[in-house]
Amino acid sequence: MTAHPSVLVVGAGLSGVLAARGVAATAEVTVVEKSRGVGGRLATRRLGPATFDHGAQFFTAQSPVFTSLVTEWLGAGVAAPWFSERLEPDGSTMDDGHQRYRGAPGMTALAKHEARGLHVVTGTCVARLEVEGARWRAVTDAGQALDADAVVLTAPVPQSLALLDAGGVALSDADRHTLEALTYDRCLAVLAVLDAPSGLAAPGALRPASEPIDWLADNHLKGISAVPALTVHAAAAFSLAHWGDTDADVCAALLAAAPLPLVASVVEADVQRWRYAKPTTLHTDRFLMAAGLPPLLFAGDAFGSARVEGAALSGMAVASELRQWAEGSHGTDVRG
């Protein structure tokens, strides 16, 4: 065993980059991400002159640990306040004492900030995970082998389980049962560039009363797009029922249902399909350490608490666990 054990983190969403950052001083860490950039469901993209947050829309900070991370983000200019009152389905607002923040310029900025200086390999999809003696071997879909002493899986849990199944790794019955119980809602998201202001009032977001729309935001009013640009999130039941519809049909249905004044026209639109958008059942702890295998930790927003804050806290908890392992007892039992 080397002085610096190696850790492979699969996924460069917020939980993955925070896990990697937190253990980077005590281990050799590589983060592998299948997309071209970091962020995962903290997703910001361009369409023509417009910029969209099309995954997570905002975040709150409720725990002291996450609040201090958000304070650092505000100081670094990668987060900014957006609005402070809860948006009610009837269009009213309610002061619940929680500031809503956005990434600056967009939500991806948070993950990019936490990934700075780390060894992150993007555009590389792990296809399977195998046990090689007391170590791990991840094999990418291009056939490249990446060996590590410990692995952190931060993809949505069904995707993580598929990597183990593909590599013939047997989880304990208890772990498999726990992990297979974690489920997610889908979300169909429409991104629409408008030729005129959306007509939404400040802060530029709506949470309509019922199906099919769950959330509607104007990224221009949000402060991240040079031109009016709508993100429309379908509710879970609509997303499931219309998952296989064409992009054109999804756009037509959701834009027709958007409660907006008929002033602006859509110049260009696209659809993003989030198969694992938000967890609907959660594991009670901030990560799950697999039993009877070399160190293998499952993490992300399905562990402990959901959403951006939950993903961050999960990544940080994994880092703390792996720091203890790397500093002392690795090679015996990560829980020791």
List residues near ligand FAD by CB under 6 A. 10-16, 32-35, 40-42, 55-59, 125-126, 154-156, 159, 163, 187, 189, 233, 274, 277-278, 300-301, 306-308, 311
Q: Decide if 301 contacts 280 (C-beta within 8 A).
A: no
Please say which residue, 50 or 87, places its beta carbon nearer to ligand FAD.
87
Nearest distance from C-beta of residue 326 to ligand FAD, angstroms: 21
Nearer to ligand FAD, 15 or 219 (CB): 15
CB distance 50 to 227 below 8 Å: yes
- What residues does 147 pair with on adjacent strands? 137
Quick check: 234 and 212 in contact, CB under 8 A? yes
Pick left, alpha or beta for residue 48 (phi over 0 → left; psi -120 to 50 → alpha; otherwise beta). left
Name the minimum Å distance from CB 119 to ligand FAD. Answer: 14
For residue 87, the minimal CB distance to ligand FAD (Å) is 11
Instruction: Give whole-number Cα distances, 54 to 74, 128, 200, in Å.
Output: 21, 29, 18
Between 9 and 264, CB nearer to ligand FAD = 9
72 is written with which tokens?
A: 């650092």
User: Is the CB of 17 or the CB of 330 nearer to ligand FAD?
Assistant: 17
| For ligand FAD, the closer CB: 276 or 330 | 276
Shortest separation between residue 222's beta carbon and ligand FAD, angstroms: 12
Burial class (CB in 10 A: 0-12, 13-18, 19+), 149: buried
Beta strand pairing status for 6-10 and 150-153? parallel
The full length of the chain comes to 336
> 72 or 141, CB closer to ligand FAD?
141
Rounded Cα gap, residues 282 and 183, in angstroms:
8
Supply the minimum distance, in Å, between the C-beta of residue 274 and ligand FAD: 4
Quote the tokens at residue 50. Answer: 């417009």
CB of 31 to ligand FAD, least distance (A): 9
